[in-house]
Amino acid sequence: MKVPGNRMPGLRGRKVNDLPGVTGVARIDRRTKRLTKRLKPGEIAIIDHVDVDRVSAEALVSCEAAGVVNVAAGISGRYPNLGPQIIIEAGVPFIDNASQELFERIKDGDTVRLHEGAVYVGDEVVGKGEAQTPEAVEAAMAEARAGLAVQIEAFAVNTMEYVRGEGKLLIDGVGVPPIRTPIEGRHALIVVRGYHYKEDIATLRPYLREYRPVLIGVDGGADALLEAGYLPDVIVGDFDSVSTKALTCGAELIVHAYRDGRAPGLERVHQLGRDAVIFPSTGTSEDIAMLLADDKGAELIVAVGTHGTLEEFLDKGRSGMASTFLTRLRVGSKLVDAKGVSMLYRSRISTPQLLLLAITALITMGVALALSPLGQTWLNGLQDIWNSFIFWLVGLFS
């Protein structure tokens, strides 16, 4: 995409659309999740993201970025992460392994141009990288798959470390704080702003209408619920990626804290004049949401946008995902993925069945009226009213 009509400094009157490549306003941030909140269609994202994961890539594509420049390795070779492939398949130009000095030489809001792996500001090349192609990404993915066994071994080691550190929490529920939201005997819906969360929430509407589960948003998952028209009952997380609107919607707030008690998200909660419950754990926020629902007696836990496969655990790009694996073992048969619910769930009476029932009832009432003496009297009365109406209507035009 190009930005017609703009001019770049030092181009001696040449229009942007006369130049090859892709031109747009640069948005720059070392945290992709934070950048996508302010990235607008047609702008160029400059990120520092090793092993671009699927969720980040889908966010960049949904923002309609004109191009993506990564100063890190989009596929480092540790495992076959899905992000770069998603960006390329969406037709978004992607420059990888670009010069680190781009973060010093480009300011947020500068107009930049991408062409053949080079990044321009005006006539000056301010950085170079590798212009990615489908073939290059596929080759990198094949190489990463070859080394997957090493990552599985590291994943197992991290799992054992988590068991040693959080065994009491996992086994006995020691450390789960008391909350005021009643969960016992109810279903709990846990929403993470992850894989296909929008589609999953949409397919669960009949289930939500019928069962009215406790709605638990994990950080940005609270905003996902609000966007879908639902008010979260509980919000869990470190609150770095959740909106002020969500934090002030009236939901009970559970701040994810470190094991030593430090809770960076608590300051923001207090600034908003809200109270919060602190939940110390070395696991992820989605882990403590599941442990909380399980400990408080949820009959069923339905997960939206969470991680379920080994590929998804690794694609998250952090060793702490081992905690998610163990948390799922702890919760056990209570946990159901949203896709499973949408496939298996059917509301007790479907819309076509309701229509058929209504039509059948009307026909039955009509037959009963026609055959009974009282019905005949009513029908004669209705016929007299109809004839009077027709006579009055004809009189208006005579």
For 89-114, write each residue's pLDDT tens digit: 999 999 999 999 999 999 999 999 99
Show the DSSP H helices in 90-147 as ranges: 102-105, 134-146
Task: Write the burial class of residue 105 (CB in 10 Å: 0-12 exposed, 13-18 middle, 19+ buried).
Answer: middle
Where, residue-wise, is CATH 3.20.19.10 in the chain?
16-144
pLDDT of 49 over the 90 cut: yes
In the numeric block, which tokens belong to residue 340?
A: 């499973």
User: What is the mean predicted confidence (pLDDT) over 194-218?
Assistant: 89
Q: Helix and strand tally (H, E) in the chain?
A: 17, 15
* Mean pLDDT score across all residues of the chain: 82
| The CATH homologous superfamily of the domain defined by 16-144 | Aconitase, domain 4 (3.20.19.10)
Enumerate the β-bridge partners of residue 304: 191
Tell me which residue of 213, 230, 196 sits closest to 62, measured CA to CA: 196
C-alpha span between 331 and 299 (Å, rounded): 11
pLDDT of 303 over the 50 cut: yes
The pLDDT tens digits for 304-354 are 987 656 566 666 555 556 666 677 777 877 888 877 776 666 545 456 666
C-alpha span between 252 and 181 (Å, rounded): 7
User: What is the mean predicted confidence (pLDDT) over 151-158?
Assistant: 67
pLDDT of 147 over the 60 cut: yes
What confidence tier does 1 reach under pLDDT thresholds 50, 70, 90?
very low
236 vs 390, more confident: 236
What confidence tier does 286 reach under pLDDT thresholds 50, 70, 90?
confident
User: What is the mean predicted confidence (pLDDT) over 157-183?
Assistant: 73
C-alpha span between 275 and 281 (Å, rounded): 19
What confidence tier does 143 reach under pLDDT thresholds 50, 70, 90?
confident
In the numeric block, which tokens belong to residue 360?
A: 């059948």
> Residue 14 has what pLDDT?
44
The answer as to CATH 3.40.50 being correct for domain 148-344 is: yes
Strand duo 252-257 + 234-237: pairing: parallel
DSSP H or E stretch at residue 200: helix 197-203
Task: Write the burial class of residue 240 (CB in 10 Å: 0-12 exposed, 13-18 middle, 19+ buried).
Answer: middle
pLDDT of 48 over the 70 cut: yes
Where, residue-wise, is CATH 3.40.50 in the chain?
148-344
Strands (E), 204-272: 214-218, 234-237, 252-257
Identity of residue 105: R
User: What is the mean predicted confidence (pLDDT) over 280-294?
Assistant: 88
> Residue 13 has what pLDDT?
40
Identity of residue 343: M
Global pTM value: 0.61
In angstroms and rounded to an integer, the radius of gyration of the C-alpha atoms of the chain is 29
User: What is the mean predicted confidence (pLDDT) over 182-188?
Assistant: 95
